[in-house]
Structure 1
Amino acid sequence: MRAALSILAVVSLFSTQAVQSAAPADTSQVREDQWHLTFLKVNEAHKVSRGAGVLVAVPDTGVDPHPDLSRNLLEGKNILTGTGDGLRDANSHGTAMAGLIAAHGANGEIGALGIAPEAKILPIISSTSDNYGEADKLAEAIDYAVTQHAGVISISSAGVTSEKLTRSVKNALAADIVVVAGVGNLPEAATIGYPAAEEGVIAVSGIDQAGNHAPISVTGPKIEIAAPAVDIYSTSYGGKYSKGTGTSSATAIVAGAAALIRSKYPNLPAQEVAHRLTATAVDKGPPGRDDQYGYGVIDLVAALTADVPPLGFESSVVTPPASTAAGPGKGDDDSGTVRGLATLGVLVAAGGGYLFWRRRRRADDPPPRVSR
């Protein structure tokens, strides 16, 4: 068994996965062990979108061509050496992240399954086999992803930035790419690391199997959304499987969700993709945004199907489609599920402008419950 441990240096990035271990392969068992699939109603989400047509860049330790993932792997690049295609991983971390995003499994119901099993993965080696990564190397990886027209960049690392990295992240955002990053893990990090701290990046924190804040996850005012992060099973090198705990996994899951949305709504700008994720999130903790959950816990089905007006027309409530059971219990609000940012109930043209009807959460409304 090998373990990839988080590493932090003065000018480095560190993996946002506490432990990523390569366990013996058990193709028939791993799907059952992927508790986050049931928690997030992935099968229901896949009836709407499976991520087809979306390229997700994964700057990490590389991606091994696992049988459950190989159909979705493209040739990428080794930033560390300037040669190679990124299709190797001596660590397991990058392969695990790619599997959470886009693993297609084997023979239908067995093997690892990703959130967006028809998305393509662009593997980029930007960290060494011990998970050490320099900020400028990550910057080069992001620049490469931009040149390859990635729709989503999933960054499961956090740390100190550099002028070059800050510029690269801003360039990716300006290129209409959804950039998703983990906020970091305790005790290695005390505050939200970069790139999650950058405005416009979807900063992801972690929850456990009960839907509560994972103690390992860093907290802070930049957090946008929370996703499963504890005992998360995925692919590993050599055809094996892995189990990890940390905001790395949560990041990859949210990146997969972004791929589902970009596939379902191909003309939706990156900012609106992020808005759709946060607007439909299941509110946890204090009402509205908070430093543990951001705007709430990700809800895949609602993010794909709810009526979410564009940015600039938000209110305190999103009404999910009546035909689905996405999200928490229906008793939270008599007109629909209470959500994080979310949205406008009615738009009516009036006197050359707009009349906005917004339904606020009542003070005596019970707190929303996370779906399982």
Structure 2
Amino acid sequence: MMKRPTFHWLMVPALLIAPGLAQSVGPSGLIDGRIDSISEQVERRAEALVERKVAERTRERMVNADELPEQLQGQLSELLPVRTRNGETAFYEALQRDGSRAVARQWLITATADELVQLRRPGVTILEQRELEGLGLTVVRFQVRPDIDSRAALEKLLPELSERLDRNHIYSPQSRAAGAVPNGPQQPIASLCSDPVRVGMVDTLISDEHSAFDQASIIQKPFLTMANQPGELTAPRAHGTAVASVLMGQLGAQSRARLPHATLFNASVFYEGSGATSGATLAHLLEGLNWLAEQKTSVINISLTGPDNRILAAAIKSLQKQGPILVAAVGNEGPAAPPLYPAAYEGVIGVTAVDNAGALYRWANRGNHVAFAARGVDVPVAHTNGGLVRDSGTSLAAPVVAALLACSLPRMSKEQAIQALIDHAEDLGDKGRDPGFGHGFLDDQSERFRNPPAE
């Protein structure tokens, strides 16, 4: 999921379409001491206007009824096609009642070879079986008839397996570029350590030809094929490029990479959807996590969110047993939104974003799963077309914490590394750990986070 758009550039047009607000403007500017209130109203109206336009464009890209298989035509208003690079429809995104997205009528289950017999029922079609040895899981992806496309129906059909199945949910990235980096000096970034650490991430592809990565060691592997479909899904690049540039990119002549001697293993799991949307199916996310488990990384950055899912929970638990610390963005759905996953799973380090003044990012999720806050508002990041842009979101705060942990682990245990961050965190919200800032703000550019070079 991407962050909410920034609307300051829309404020003048919004005034033109909001005559009731324009009447309060006089020769000397806004009067009656209501500038803050009026600005908020204008921003809300502008925001609603842009969101309506986005919705209209999305509807324009929806398929006509005659493009759909007959059994899906009744769900037209909730479906969007996802196509391969050669234009073939790979699957349909389906909006669920809880607001989450999933591949239409597709489910995943962890099962043994003997248990697969139970899936051979009328209305159930097995699409593929994956041995995810790095996670220690065997995952089966299957499709069901529309009349049994619910948990209640599958619990009746497969009572012995119902606790180990869930939808093939779709997960979303957690940032979006906000604009060009202004001219002038930027706050320099210093390296955190010179250790040859191994760090993983699941994201979009990275534009590793960008000059920010001239000295970086990046190994990528895409997971965008569909076992039951020809062709490959289209891979976006913007989000992964931005996240990787925070983690280990050199952003300007006066800055250094946070992890200059790291090797970054990137599992590309996001596909390009309709319009400006993108997503990662759970099936592809599991494949990416499985590959990262085999790379023996010390930290894995996960700047994506989505719903709770039994299969994802099992994969996260398996990864945690193997050793790497999992760092995840808490999400950009807003302060009143429910917890998002995997950040909300026990043991995952959930990270929120703050600006340079230490104020929480306005769209950041909150909750008891927030562990730390780091800079993630209007930060410079690498753009896929070259140069830098300003970006915001919890996606960009998570790699800061991932880098801090990666630098600590050569010298400390996992427990000691996490405790060290707790000890050094600046308490910004309510005293002690709170739902907004977690344990507090981690200023990775503070001297207390500098590690001596590895001997």
Match of 2:238 in 1: 92
Superposition map of 1:216-235 within 5 A: 216-235=363-382
Q: Unaligned stretches of 5+ in structure 2?
A: 5-98, 103-168, 228-233
Instruction: Name the SS of the counterpart of 1:171 in structure 2.
Output: helix
- Picking from 286, 289, 306, the partner of 1:159 is 306
- Scaled by the length of structure 2, what TM-score is found? 0.56
2:327 is the counterpart of 1:180: yes
C-alpha distance in 2, partners of 1:303/1:122? 28
CA separation of 1:271/1:13 partners in 2, compared to 1, >3 Å: closer, same or farther? Answer: farther
CA separation of 1:197/1:102 partners in 2, compared to 1, >3 Å: closer, same or farther? Answer: same
Match of 2:254 in 1: 109
C-alpha distance in 2, partners of 1:243/1:170? 35
2:443 is the counterpart of 1:299: yes
> AA paired with 2:215?
R
Instruction: Say how many residue pairs are matched.
Output: 279
RMSD: 3.0
Q: Is the 8 Å Cα contact of residues 206 and 217 (structure 1) preserved in structure 2? A: yes
C-alpha distance in 2, partners of 1:73/1:158? 26
Q: Is the 8 Å Cα contact of residues 176 and 269 (structure 1) preserved in structure 2? A: no
Instruction: Name the SS of the counterpart of 1:98 in structure 2.
Output: helix
Q: Is the 8 Å Cα contact of residues 260 and 304 (structure 1) preserved in structure 2? A: no
Match of 1:271 in 2: 415
C-alpha distance in 2, partners of 1:196/1:133? 16
Match of 1:246 in 2: 393
CA deviation profile, 1:3-43 (whole Å, cap 9, x unmatched) = 966895252211111x226859x9xx58x44x4x5xxxx53
CA separation of 1:132/1:97 partners in 2, compared to 1, >3 Å: closer, same or farther? Answer: same
- Picking from 426, 434, 451, the partner of 1:282 is 426
C-alpha distance in 2, partners of 1:176/1:220? 26
Which protein has greater RCO, CA pairs closer than 8 Å, 6+ apart?
A: 1
Q: Is the 8 Å Cα contact of residues 178 and 378 (structure 2) preserved in structure 1? A: no
Q: Is the 8 Å Cα contact of residues 12 and 159 (structure 1) preserved in structure 2? A: yes
- Picking from 173, 176, 193, the partner of 1:50 is 193
C-alpha distance in 2, partners of 1:291/1:122? 31
Instruction: Name the SS of the counterpart of 2:271 in structure 1.
Output: coil
C-alpha distance in 1, partners of 2:171/2:366? 18
The Cα of 1:302 is off from its aligned counterpart by 6.4
C-alpha distance in 1, partners of 2:180/2:100? 25
> AA paired with 1:166?
A
CA deviation profile, 1:115-139 (whole Å, cap 9, x unmatched) = 3233221121111134311223222
Match of 2:361 in 1: 214
CA separation of 1:241/1:221 partners in 2, compared to 1, >3 Å: closer, same or farther? Answer: same
Q: Is the 8 Å Cα contact of residues 251 and 382 (structure 2) preserved in structure 1? A: no
Match of 1:73 in 2: 217
Match of 1:325 in 2: none
2:272 is the counterpart of 1:136: no
> AA paired with 2:349?
I
CA separation of 1:99/1:305 partners in 2, compared to 1, >3 Å: closer, same or farther? Answer: closer
Q: Is the 8 Å Cα contact of residues 276 and 303 (structure 1) preserved in structure 2? A: no
- Scaled by the length of structure 1, what TM-score is found? 0.67
Match of 2:348 in 1: 201
The Cα of 1:159 is off from its aligned counterpart by 0.9
2:211 is the counterpart of 1:64: no
2:174 is the counterpart of 1:16: yes
CA separation of 1:105/1:302 partners in 2, compared to 1, >3 Å: closer, same or farther? Answer: closer
Between Structure 1 and Structure 2, which shows a larger proportion of helix residues?
Answer: 2
Instruction: Name the SS of the counterpart of 1:81 in structure 2.
Output: coil
Instruction: Name the SS of the counterpart of 1:75 in structure 2.
Output: strand
C-alpha distance in 1, partners of 2:203/2:269? 5
C-alpha distance in 2, partners of 1:237/1:89? 13
CA separation of 1:77/1:189 partners in 2, compared to 1, >3 Å: closer, same or farther? Answer: farther
Q: Unaligned stretches of 5+ in structure 1?
A: 307-372
> AA paired with 1:159?
G
CA deviation profile, 1:191-236 (whole Å, cap 9, x unmatched) = 2211101111110011122112221111101111001121111112
C-alpha distance in 1, partners of 2:370/2:2? 25
CA separation of 1:238/1:251 partners in 2, compared to 1, >3 Å: closer, same or farther? Answer: same
CA deviation profile, 1:30-80 (whole Å, cap 9, x unmatched) = 8x44x4x5xxxx53xx3xx42521111121111111121143233221111
CA separation of 1:296/1:97 partners in 2, compared to 1, >3 Å: closer, same or farther? Answer: same
2:275 is the counterpart of 1:118: no
CA deviation profile, 1:133-181 (whole Å, cap 9, x unmatched) = 1223222211111101111111111111333321221122112211100
